[in-house]
Amino acid sequence: MDQIRIGKFIAETRKARKLTQRQLADALSVSDKTISKWECGKGLPEVSLMLPLCDELDITVNDLLSGEKVSDSDYQKKAEGNMMNLMKENEENKKRMALSIICGVITIIAVCALVVIASYIKLPTVARIALILFAAATGVTGIAAAAMLEIKAGYYECPHCKELFVPTMREYVKGYHTFLKRRLTCPKCGKSGMCRHRIVRY
């Protein structure tokens, strides 16, 4: 998906229809900041907004995702390409999520094994301490790797305005979390809340 191209196309089409960002935003019940974000290529409309947006702009979803008016002869080909791109994005996110879980599980097993060895097997004290330090280092590295993978897998959903966003590493690390939710600040409405992790856009 070429977000910059799609953004320019949204802006051009909106202006051609003599709509302001505010008017388009009101028609879609989103903020004008959201429209501006799309037009700057800083994010795609989420799937539930694509049809209403296309209705307002009098274009097809295929035009929108292609970033241009698609001619009848190209229509089928472009539609398939656009569909594949959306599916690919979701697939990559699912793979990252699975990798993140595998990484976390391996880390936990490795750390437990090292701790058991260090505790129950007769070893010189120095070797025991080295083993425990090694276990700690393995744990930190493994959890960091799992977090890096998870942060890239999908989006977090703001409970207040339903905005989907990817948190910064810093926000991510300091956020209190449960298995599926994490306390984050929404970049759109500025409110903090328990944001649900979503692997796919829809």
Q: Which is nearer to Zn ion, 128 or 160 (CB)?
A: 160
Q: Which of residues 125-164 bind Zn ion (CB under 5 A)?
A: 158, 160-161, 163
Q: From the CB of 185, what's the least distance to Zn ion, in Å?
A: 9
Strand order in the sheet with 192-198: 164-165, 155-157, 192-198, 181-185
First to last CA, the chain: 16
- Residues 14, 37, 96, 188: which binds Zn ion (CB under 5 A)? 188
* 114 vs 184 by CB, closer to Zn ion: 184
Q: Does residue 195 touch Zn ion according to CB under 5 A? A: no
* Nearest partner of 174 among 185, 159, 160, 163, judged by Cα: 185
> For residue 61, which of 87, 82, 32 has the smallest C-alpha distance?
82
C-alpha span between 17 and 110 (Å, rounded): 61
Q: Is 30 in the site for Zn ion (CB under 5 A)?
A: no
Of the pair 68, 163, the CB lying nearest Zn ion is at 163
Looking at beta carbons only, is 54 or 186 nearer to Zn ion?
186
Contact residues for Zn ion, defined by CB under 5 A: 158, 160-161, 163, 186, 188-189
